[in-house]
Amino acid sequence: MVLHHTRPNLCQKFCTANMAHFWPKGMWLSSSPDLNPLDFAVWDELERKTNKTPHPNVNALKGTIRTEWDNMAVEFLINSCRLSSTLWKLSVKLKEATLSESAHKGPAYKFC
């Protein structure tokens, strides 16, 4: 659901006032491939396996990618998601600590 209105902060204010566990927009983590298992684990694995041999054309490469995807171990995918979950939790704790310190005029950290 997308809300369109002329006052963009209205929704943020409402949610902050009425939802106990609402994360304001500053709390959300920036887009990071390190926190996405598809980006940091799965594509790396597919690239490693598909680049072993040259492909004469795009269709051949697509076929190899599909084959390697179909043969990817379920355990690998599960472990990648677990690691991603751990990274998310640690990132959230760091973000919370950073916001807390900023609120108390402590040191500011920059996220890459």
Per-residue pLDDT at 108 = 46
Q: Which residue has the higher pLDDT, 7 or 76?
A: 76
pTM of the model: 0.47
50: Cβ contacts below 8 Å, ≥ 6 apart: 61, 64, 65, 68
What does the alpha-carbon distance between residue 97 and residue 24 come to, in Å, rounded to a whole number?
A: 15
